[in-house]
Amino acid sequence: MLEQLRSIVQEVNAARDLQSALDIIVGRVRKTLGTQVCSIFLFDKDINSHVLMASEGLRQESIGHVSLEVGEGLVGLVAKHAEPINLQDASLHPSFHYLQETGEEEFHAFLGVPIIHHRAVLGVLVVQHEEKRRFDEAEEAFLVTLSAQLAAVIAHAEATGAIEGVSPSGHKTSDTAFAGVSGSSGVAIGKVVVVFPHADLSQIPDRPAADIDQEIKYFKTALDAVRHDIGELHGKLAGRVAEEERQLFDAYLHMLDDSALGNEVVERIRQGHWAQGALAWVANEHVRRFESMNDDYLSERAVDIKELCSRVLFYLQDRGKVETVYNDDTILVSEELTAAMLAEVPKDKLKGLVSVKGSGNSHVAILARTMGIPTVMGVLDLPFSQLDGREVIVDGYKGEVISNPSDELRERYLSTIKEQDELIAGLENLKDEVCQTADEHRVHLWVNTGLMSDVMHSIDQGAEGIGLFRTEVPFLLAERFPSEQEQTAIYREQLQAFAPKVVTMRTLDIGGDKALSYFPIDEANPFLGWRGIRVTLDHPEIFMAQVRAMLRASIGLENLQIMLPMISNIYEVSSALQLIKRAHRELLQEGLDVRFPPIGVMIELPAAVYQTRALARLVDFVSVGSNDLTQYLLAVDRNNPRVAHLYSAFHPAVLNALYQVVSQAQEEGKPVSICGEMAGDPGAAVLLVAMGFDVLSMNAMTLLKVKSVIRSISLDAAQDLLDQVMQMDDAQTIRSAVDLALYNAGVDRLLRSSRTN
């Protein structure tokens, strides 16, 4: 059975579109189980019904014409309860609904299983038989397993149809929403530009050819270049490898023939697609077909096709970088967005961001918030390669991408954008106001930075200090470790620009999802592995160079603080302190007049929460990294969209941990700040103020929003709210209570609906 399951799934995966996928399923299942009927009903939300989409065994004329309303018939029952129904004689069941057009009266045995994707029932897979008998356990288990494996394929095929504006049953649709998670709040409407890593066939988007003849010419030149390379290889290998292996090259050359792959690509270009897209499409079709073959030798040929087509792609891309054209309202879409992709787009043209992978606390989302660009992350079901050039709405509040927007919906979102712009303009006059609650309790708002451009923007927004300078950012952009001198220059710039305000520099925090290309770390569990202080203590030469650079950069400015990330025990702190003292001593011996800076510890791990007092005793301040703390307390990977709904800083466990950190730090008489993204969520900020955090450090874009909310609420009211929520036992209820309190304080709806950590 396992073998059959695997082969059905592979064959379905190779299908061109939804209808052929469904046809393959019903045909293969009927044969495998030896039943007389196999059918698939899919839910069509436009008509709120389950439509018979494919069948073998029922009358073919009924396909696409027969439907059952929600809850109607046995199919409706399977969908409603999201559970299989297995009956010896369906006609005796009270929910049986006879579908005359299908000719199903002769079939008695009925087994229906739901097709479920991300908790939603997409449809029902049904097998029927004349004989009055219950399907046995093995048959039921087979169908349930198959349906679970096919759900994602069906969802993807449906979504591809929806992008074209058609529902499963062929109705015209609009306003198709693809769910993800909020990466950065705000709304944007614009045209999609799909960006992709080079030389990856699976990610090349489909684009229209600007000049068909030119594209064919490019393709043929690339093809010739590959032919030439392979011919050369073929010659070089003569006498060195077995003739059999040399024949592989003949096979390659044959595949490139005009009558084979080459011809198909040219045909597709002629239909109006650009060369790269046409090549990727043809290659992926062949790869899928070969992979689905039940023969090891043939399925291995998929690897050859990939290899060959990647070579052609290389030449196509190498003939000169294809200049990506960014329209004035670019919505940048990628399977996995990177900081470098963002950097390529001219700032004034970038309106929204969408990433299929990643989550609200991925570092690229943090960057997007710093830039103030509406962003949706983790849109797993988005057929992104079909989106190039299409208009979409990015709803960064809800975490949704909407394709084929109707005029009404567009109008609604345009008015939200207007409201949003007015709100931001209205906040401008708060820049020079102090941040205090309505009853004059002073709160300090600092910023998180990474690049020099953040610093300039932060100063402009009235930031009172830098609570977190992510020093790894310049390391990530470099091609090797920056030298002590280079680092000194970078740090000096930040310290100088902010002086006399305090700048908190975090020592290098790599590992986890922050990989340096020139220092690869390959681990099965990177977030539980060699990260932050663990790496730098194992490489004291890197740590020492960095600390020496920080200290040298601070000479005469005296506004430096140093902070240690990913601390899990006191030895890491004492070891780091010894190294910092050594660096300080060395510089003094070199005759430099360096002041020893305040040192702080980040509380990012549950272990550190329970050791706050012991840690605080060793240092001058503590700062909570709530992004990692939430991830580790809730065991939810901050990058994984599948579990993003479980990631919430409003979880009672997180709030309790934060409260505990504040009280313990206060007992030791040490200042306590928070520099995770939570501090930039206006609702969360109110709770943090009530808990007694001395400093909230956030990205500059949210600073004025947080200031405006803090100014509109009294400390008393914030403390009452905190007392209330600390009695609550789930994140959703807490979020709602906070929203209600903000509403009562007259806070604007767009500030209330800022993204939830």
110: its two tokens: 């009925």
**How far apart, in Å, do the first and last CA atoms of the chain sit?**
44
Each residue 578-607 as x (binds Mg ion by CB under 5 A) or -, in order, gives --------------------------x---
Which of 114, 680 has the CB closer to ligand PEP? 680
d(CA 401, CA 187): 10
Amino acid at 117: H
Question: At 548, is the secondary structure helix, strand, or coil?
Answer: helix
Each residue 502-541 as x (binds ligand PEP by CB under 6 A) or -, in order, gives -------x--------------------------------
């590992």: which residue's tokens?
A: 511
Which of 282, 564 has the CB closer to ligand PEP? 564
311's contact among ligand PEP, Mg ion, none, with CB below 5 to 8 A by partner kind, is none
Distance of CA 88 to the CA centre of its chain: 46
55's contact among ligand PEP, Mg ion, none, with CB below 5 to 8 A by partner kind, is none
626's contact among ligand PEP, Mg ion, none, with CB below 5 to 8 A by partner kind, is ligand PEP
d(CA 698, CA 225): 52
355: its two tokens: 């990433």
| Residue 234 annotated as catalytic | no
Cβ 631 to ligand PEP, closest distance in Å?
Answer: 8
- Residue 599's alpha-carbon distances to 99, 338, 535, 560, 699, in angstroms, are 75, 32, 19, 9, 22
Which of 266, 368 has the CB closer to ligand PEP? 368
Question: Site for ligand PEP (CB under 6 A): which residue of 627, 702, 754, 757?
Answer: 627
- Work out whether 625 is an interface residue with ligand PEP (CB under 6 A): yes
* CB neighbour burial string for 314-337, b if at least 16 within 10 angstroms, e if fewer: bbbeeeeeeeeebeeebbbbbbbb
Cβ 702 to ligand PEP, closest distance in Å?
Answer: 14
Give the binding range for ligand PEP (CB under 6 A) out of 247-255, 277-285, 625-633, 681-689: 625-633
Which of 183, 676 has the CB closer to ligand PEP? 676
How many other C-beta atoms are found inside a 10 Å radius of the C-beta of residue 168? 27
Cβ 680 to ligand PEP, closest distance in Å?
Answer: 11
Taking CB atoms, the residue at the shortest distance from ligand PEP is: 625
* Cβ–Cβ < 8 Å for 625, 675: yes
- Work out whether 468 is an interface residue with ligand PEP (CB under 6 A): yes
Cβ 468 to ligand PEP, closest distance in Å?
Answer: 6
- Work out whether 11 is an interface residue with Mg ion (CB under 5 A): no
Cis, bond preceding 383 (omega within 30 deg of 0): no
> Which residues face 124 on adjacent strands?
41, 114
Which of 56, 604 has the CB closer to Mg ion? 604
387: its two tokens: 């989106």
Which of 215, 509 has the CB closer to ligand PEP? 509
Cβ 565 to Mg ion, closest distance in Å?
Answer: 6
Give the binding range for Mg ion (CB under 5 A) out of 105-113, 216-224, 256-264, 625-633: 625-633
Catalytic residue chosen out of the listed positions 363, 444, 457, 584: 363
Which of 20, 640 has the CB closer to Mg ion? 640
612: its two tokens: 């706050």
Residue 209's nearest CA partner among 337, 336, 349, 316 is 316
d(CA 449, CA 470): 6
Which of 5, 515 has the CB closer to Mg ion? 515
Amino acid at 619: V
* CB neighbour burial string for 214-236, b if at least 16 within 10 angstroms, e if fewer: ebbebbeebbebbbeebeeebee
Give the binding range for ligand PEP (CB under 6 A) out of 493-501, 553-561, 620-628, 733-741: 620-628
Question: At 342, is the secondary structure helix, strand, or coil?
Answer: helix
Each residue 3-32 as x (binds ligand PEP by CB under 6 A) or -, in order, gives ------------------------------
- Work out whether 676 is an interface residue with ligand PEP (CB under 6 A): yes
- Residue 256's alpha-carbon distances to 209, 312, 351, in angstroms, are 22, 10, 41
| Residue 675 annotated as catalytic | yes
Question: Site for ligand PEP (CB under 6 A): which residue of 108, 311, 470, 651?
Answer: 470
687: its two tokens: 């709770």
Residues that bind ligand PEP (rule: CB under 6 A) add up to a total of: 10
Instruction: Give phi and psi for 146, each to the nearest 5.
Output: -60, -45
> Which residues face 26 on adjacent strands?
none
Contact residues for 508 (Cβ-Cβ < 8 A; gap 6+): 471, 472, 475, 532, 535, 536, 542, 543, 546
686's contact among Mg ion, ligand PEP, none, with CB below 5 to 8 A by partner kind, is none
Give the binding range for ligand PEP (CB under 6 A) out of 56-64, 167-175, 589-597, 619-627: 619-627
435: its two tokens: 């941040």
Which of 388, 628 has the CB closer to Mg ion? 628
Which of 158, 472 has the CB closer to Mg ion? 472
Contact residues for 259 (Cβ-Cβ < 8 A; gap 6+): none
Sheet holding 67-69, edge to edge: 67-69, 49-56, 37-44, 120-129, 109-117, 85-87
Give the binding range for ligand PEP (CB under 6 A) out of 24-32, 99-107, 153-161, 623-631: 623-631
Cβ 700 to ligand PEP, closest distance in Å?
Answer: 15
């301040």: which residue's tokens?
A: 621
220: its two tokens: 């043929």
């969408």: which residue's tokens?
A: 354
d(CA 333, CA 330): 9
675's contact among Mg ion, ligand PEP, none, with CB below 5 to 8 A by partner kind, is ligand PEP
How many other C-beta atoms are found inside a 10 Å radius of the C-beta of residue 262? 19
Each residue 591-610 as x (binds ligand PEP by CB under 6 A) or -, in order, gives -------------x------
């920056």: which residue's tokens?
A: 482
d(CA 528, CA 523): 9
- Work out whether 628 is an interface residue with Mg ion (CB under 5 A): yes
Which of 67, 546 has the CB closer to ligand PEP? 546
- Work out whether 44 is an interface residue with ligand PEP (CB under 6 A): no
437's contact among ligand PEP, Mg ion, none, with CB below 5 to 8 A by partner kind, is none
Cβ 596 to ligand PEP, closest distance in Å?
Answer: 24
- Work out whether 102 is an interface residue with ligand PEP (CB under 6 A): no
164: its two tokens: 């074209």
Which of 222, 562 has the CB closer to ligand PEP? 562
Cβ 364 to ligand PEP, closest distance in Å?
Answer: 12
Give the binding range for ligand PEP (CB under 6 A) out of 271-279, 593-601, 624-632, 727-735: 624-632
470's contact among ligand PEP, Mg ion, none, with CB below 5 to 8 A by partner kind, is ligand PEP
Mind giving me the DSSP string for 147-196? HHHHHHHHHHHHHHHHHTTB-TTS-B---EEEE-EEEE--EEEEEEEE--
Question: Site for ligand PEP (CB under 6 A): which residue of 628, 637, 694, 748?
Answer: 628
Question: What is the torsion angle, in degrees rounded to the nearest 10, for the CA atoms of residue 145, residue 149, residue 154 and residue 159?
Answer: 140
- Residues lying near ligand PEP in the complex (CB under 6 A) are found at 468, 470, 509, 604, 625-628, 675-676
- Residues lying near Mg ion in the complex (CB under 5 A) are found at 604, 625, 628
Active-site positions? Answer: 363, 675
